[in-house]
Amino acid sequence: QVQLTESGGGSVQAGGSLRLSCLVSGRTVRSYCMGWFRQAPGKEREGVASIDGDDSTTYADSVKGRFTILRDKAKNTLNLEMNSLKSEDTAMYYCAAGPDYCGYFKRLDDDEYGYWGQGTQVTVSS
């Protein structure tokens, strides 16, 4: 059974940085489709960043150039480095694990992911 546990959320001022981590148990993080999603109050869940089975990455336009998704194979974690944070980045952030390969058009599609963490809150104040 795959279990995902997020950490690293918190409150930060606009322009600041946070690093989210997702500890994976029950499966190696080595090479399959994983992603970060977020959901703000009153909004639908949206894909933020994904790293596929071949280590190709995809980012939502709203975070390109500011967020970086990384696998730490030694620690079996999936990380999300978030810089230049904006108030509109405020949301609950979720880690998700999918199939061996999602493909370019499906990487930010939450229907592709079968395993989800409980989420970690990120609050950015302006």
| Radius of gyration from C-alpha coordinates of the chain | 13
Rounded to 5 degrees, φ, ψ at 42 are: 80, 5
- Contact between residue 83 and residue 122 where contact means Cβ atoms under 8 Å apart: no
* pLDDT tens digits, 68-125: 999 998 999 999 999 999 999 999 999 999 999 999 999 999 999 999 999 999 999 9
| pLDDT given at position 56 | 96
Residue 59 DSSP SS3? strand
Which tokens sit at 100?
Answer: 């061996």
